[in-house]
Structure 1
Amino acid sequence: MKSLILILSIISSLFSSSQYTFLVNEYDKEIELEAKIIAKIAKSSLNEDIRLFIPNITNMEKRVYSKYFLLTKTCENSNFVFVKNNKEDINSCSQKNKLFFTNNYKKLLSNRKYFGAFFWNKSRPNIVFIKARLTKEHIKLPKDYDQFVEDFDER
């Protein structure tokens, strides 16, 4: 009887651990989708090979993003900077010859350095570009992106 209980306990624990693996895979899929969208935006925004810098990038993000980009360890060596929800801002990084993108809508609205944002809202992906900033940075996006361009009065 004890051995039967032991066997059932082991089988039960195996099934519960697969549930956690499922959650990790879902998170991995979300990062994969994010990386694909950022890759498409970056390639549409720049007419050169993309050298991406993400401050405080995690190992999982490195693994996923490296499929689509050449990742740089410093902002200075990049031409596209994707600032995720980190508290520190990257003011030390020169804006010269770089495009700045974020995943924080409030940061997009409050800091003119960013020309656009990709963020999740109610489990849906959202993309926003600021028209005046696109013009300032001489970014010509394909017509596919017109629906994501917003014309804010930035006085």
Structure 2
Amino acid sequence: MKRLIVIIAAFVYFLESFAQEIDRSIKYEIKILERLVIDVTKKRHPSVYTDGLDNRKVYLLQMYSNLRIAPNITEADFVFIKNKKEKYNAIKPTLALDFTSIRNCDLCIGVFSWRNGRPILILFKENLQKYNIKLPKEYRYFIESKKYIIGKK
């Protein structure tokens, strides 16, 4: 019986520490996205429209950032998309949160994703110019031509 209690306690401890690690990485991701949106829009509390994000991620965006969630795209300053398998027409600066969506969004300013536990941010030079977006110098390492990432169509 004591052995069972020790195993259950160890399992609960493991789950708690695992949940804290996931929570820490999500907070890290939200801070990266928040900084990018603020730098793109030049607003302190920009509004974002989320298309394709799960409700938990939207809730965490509201909880851990200065971003306001817009009810529709017309009221938003910026758009996040995810899991778009068909053509997506971006009318506002849009960031894809996966590589599937970036292939279907011609005017996305870039992509933010995770690979092997590390964040990947790639911004497309051509689309930043189309939206006339000027970013601080810290972003120069993340700016690349879209044709090198997606390939020629």
Report TM bin, short chain.
0.7 to 0.9
What displacement does 1:123 show? 1.8
**How many percent of aligned residue pairs carry the same amino acid?**
21
TM-score (norm 1): 0.79
Question: 1:76–1:94: 8 Å Cα contact kept in structure 2?
Answer: no
Q: Which residue of 2 aligns with 1:52?
A: 48
Question: 2:90–2:105: 8 Å Cα contact kept in structure 1?
Answer: no
* Structure 1 residue 38 corresponds to structure 2 residue 33: yes
Residue identity in the other structure for 2:13: S
Question: 2:50–2:80: 8 Å Cα contact kept in structure 1?
Answer: yes
What displacement does 1:83 show? 1.1
Question: 2:126–2:146: 8 Å Cα contact kept in structure 1?
Answer: yes
Moved more, 24-33 or 50-59: 50-59
TM-score (norm 2): 0.80
Match of 1:78 among 76, 79, 86: 76
The CA deviation string for residues 71-92 of structure 1, in whole angstroms up to 9 with x for no partner, is: 12333321111113x245584x
CA change 1:28–1:89 in 2 (3 A) is farther
User: Which entry has the higher C-alpha Rg, 1 or 2?
Assistant: 1
CA distance in 2, matches of 1:94, 1:144: 25
Residue identity in the other structure for 1:137: Y
The CA RMSD over aligned residues, in Å, is: 2.4
What displacement does 1:150 show? 0.7
* Structure 1 residue 141 corresponds to structure 2 residue 139: no
